[in-house]
């Protein structure tokens, strides 16, 4: 239990309100050591609670009065960095004025310089961008006491080794370093031996049983697309993540599914960062039931409650396969993962099948297409052109929606607040009502522009109607 850890009372109370009572296996193994300032190499599969495992010691150790950067967390992608920052904010709600700053590529550089000049306690960054700030002397790392490398394996896969080493060269030697990874291979060993000091290795080997059911179908390349609606309906899936190996396949599949009557989101690295952020919001707040993605999306991202993963293209290796199917069994929730393969994939199929014991091979003739099954999301997304920089909080928006215009709490889904914009999932029946009423309602004393936000299948950002202009 968290309460058995040596943490301040307010911290424990906050953890409790967040619904964290029992430690996951990796937290149980790592926290006593990391809270004791030890260097760690921690390995556990995706979804096992590694973020909380490294955020707790960071927050616990922080000297809030010392308004200097005390922790640096490196993560492979901007999406992941944002999720980590969010988790830190949640976990530190009992501490006032804790400042977390994210520094990632794909966002303007200058505002980051300005933010850095205003100081922060914790930096969450992608290696490339933070290195650029270091090289330009924008960032003071002298007070760093903790370095975290999250998804270290992924960062190495992405070619960040040299950047990471250069960043570490400018950090104080006397610090705690925590390395987290889903896999542990030679390259991680090399990184670890250069960066960590007498590290303790903690591993959780598939301890919590993952309840992912896996089915494999041998198919013709030309039949793959038409199988998708059948696979969705036969599994009664409501939130579906489809993986393709290439961007071009994603786009083609999105087009084809659109022609079959399914509107989908796509996520791959050709899209601008802003579109990628929005795509993830629209998918994880359940405004769109289907997301087609390349492996950019398969690592680290925390997308809740995906009930079906479809490998439209078989993964290039078993490691990638593991990460993909892991999207459907987060924190112990069960799920289904379906893989399609063609005669070209036979060698890889064998390799992947050897890695898992529970794969069921099925014939496509066995798929029971349920024609009455309708896949549509109950929710749609409202966009508000104000966010953190306007000091909007979820409570303000919730208040305006409920007390303000009379929506029931059940009609409101996830609220995402970015720097300059907020996204609110709303029951689709209530969309026009909200658009009409909320445009005439102040949120925290101000009027905002309210649109319905949707993306077409190309990931372009569209605003259906602009209902209100700020006067």
Beta strands 176-181 and 308-311, pairing class: unpaired
Q: Which is nearer to Mg ion, 81 or 262 (CB)?
A: 81
If one asks whether residue 50 binds Mg ion (CB under 5 A), the answer comes out as yes
Q: How far is the CB of 172 from ligand ADP (least distance, A)?
A: 26
Contact 177, 197 (CB under 8 A): yes
Cα separation values, 26 from 21, 29, 207, 356, 469, Å: 14, 5, 9, 22, 49
Among the listed residues 23, 25, 257, 329, the single contact to ligand ADP using CB under 6 A: 23
Among the listed residues 28, 30, 46, 381, the single contact to ligand ADP using CB under 6 A: 46
454 Cβ contact partners less than 8 Å away, ≥ 6 residues apart: 282, 287, 380, 381, 462, 464
CB atoms within 10 A of CB 82: 18
Binding range to ligand ADP, per CB under 6 A, among 16-24, 92-100, 259-267, 432-440: 16-24
Q: Which is nearer to ligand ADP, 22 or 96 (CB)?
A: 22
Q: Which is nearer to ligand ADP, 75 or 421 (CB)?
A: 75
Distance CA 238, CA 288 (A): 9
Q: Which residue's CB atom is positioned nearest to Mg ion? A: 50
Tokens of 302: 């925390």
Sole residue written with tokens 């907020």: 422
Among the listed residues 197, 316, 331, 403, the single contact to ligand ADP using CB under 6 A: 331
Nearest Cα residue to 98 out of 125, 67, 72, 73? 67
Q: Which is nearer to ligand ADP, 80 or 242 (CB)?
A: 80
Number of residues that bind ligand ADP (CB under 6 A): 16
Q: How far is the CB of 124 from ligand ADP (least distance, A)?
A: 13
Angle at alpha carbon of residue 352, lines to 347 and 354, rounded to 5°: 100
Among the listed residues 14, 34, 43, 51, the single contact to ligand ADP using CB under 6 A: 51
Q: Which is nearer to ligand ADP, 49 or 413 (CB)?
A: 49
Q: How far is the CB of 241 from Mg ion (least distance, A)?
A: 17
Q: Which is nearer to ligand ADP, 182 or 290 (CB)?
A: 182
If one asks whether residue 381 binds ligand ADP (CB under 6 A), the answer comes out as no
Query: What does the chain come to in residues?
Result: 471
Contact 206, 43 (CB under 8 A): no
If one asks whether residue 38 binds Mg ion (CB under 5 A), the answer comes out as no
If one asks whether residue 286 binds Mg ion (CB under 5 A), the answer comes out as no
188 Cβ contact partners less than 8 Å away, ≥ 6 residues apart: 41, 152, 153, 156, 179, 181
Q: Which is nearer to Mg ion, 153 or 313 (CB)?
A: 153
Q: How far is the CB of 157 from Mg ion (least distance, A)?
A: 15
Residue 161: its H or E element: helix 161-169
What is the binding site for ligand ADP (CB under 6 A)? Answer: 20, 22-24, 27, 44, 46-52, 302, 330-331
Name the site residues for Mg ion (rule: CB under 5 A): 50
């Amino acid at each position: 239990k968290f309460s058995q850890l040596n943490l301040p009372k307010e911290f424990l109370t906050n953890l409790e309100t967040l619904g964290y009572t029992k430690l996951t296996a990796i937290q149980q193994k790592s926290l006593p050591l990391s809270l004791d300032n030890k260097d760690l190499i921690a390995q556990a599969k995706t979804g096992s609670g590694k973020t909380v495992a490294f955020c707790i010691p960071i927050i616990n150790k922080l000297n809030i009065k010392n308004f200097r950067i005390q922790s640096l967390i490196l993560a492979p992608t901007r999406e992941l960095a944002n999720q980590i920052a969010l988790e830190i904010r949640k976990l530190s709600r009992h501490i006032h004025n804790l400042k977390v700053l994210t520094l990632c590529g794909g966002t303007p550089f200058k505002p980051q310089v300005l933010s850095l000049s205003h100081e922060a306690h914790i930096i969450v960054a992608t290696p490339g961008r933070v290195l650029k700030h270091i090289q330009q002397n924008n960032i003071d790392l002298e007070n760093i006491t903790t370095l975290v490398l999250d998804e270290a394996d992924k960062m190495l896969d992405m070619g960040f080794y040299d950047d990471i080493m250069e960043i570490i060269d400018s950090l104080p030697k006397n610090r705690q370093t925590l390395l987290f990874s889903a896999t542990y291979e030679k390259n991680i060993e090399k990184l670890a031996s250069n960066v960590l000091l007498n590290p303790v290795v903690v591993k959780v080997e598939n301890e919590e049983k993952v309840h992912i059911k896996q089915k494999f179908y041998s198919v013709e390349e030309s039949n793959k697309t038409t199988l998708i609606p059948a696979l969705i309906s036969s599994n009664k899936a409501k939130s579906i993540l489809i993986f393709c190996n290439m961007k071009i396949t994603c786009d083609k599949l999105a087009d084809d599914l659109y022609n079959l009557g399914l509107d989908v989101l796509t996520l791959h690295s050709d899209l601008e960062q802003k579109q990628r952020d929005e795509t993830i919001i629209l998918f994880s707040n359940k405004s769109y039931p289907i997301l087609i993605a390349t492996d950019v999306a398969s690592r680290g991202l925390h997308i809740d409650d995906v009930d079906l993963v479809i490998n439209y293209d078989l993964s290039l290796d078993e490691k990638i396969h593991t990460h993909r199917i892991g999207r459907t069994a987060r924190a112990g929730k069960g799920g289904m993962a379906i893989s399609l393969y063609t005669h070209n994939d036979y060698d890889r199929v064998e390799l992947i099948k050897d890695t898992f014991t529970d794969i069921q091979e099925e014939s496509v003739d066995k798929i029971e297409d349920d024609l009455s099954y309708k896949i549509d999301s109950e929710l749609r997304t409202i966009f508000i052109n104000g966010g953190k920089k306007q000091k909007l909080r979820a409570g303000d928006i919730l208040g305006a929606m409920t007390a303000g215009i009379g929506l029931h709490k059940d009609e409101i889904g996830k609220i995402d607040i970015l720097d300059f914009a907020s996204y609110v999932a709303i029951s689709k029946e209530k969309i026009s009502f909200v658009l009409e009423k909320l445009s005439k309602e102040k949120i925290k004393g101000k009027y905002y522009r309210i649109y319905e936000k949707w993306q077409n299948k190309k990931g372009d950002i569209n605003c259906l109607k602009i209902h209100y202009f700020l006067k």
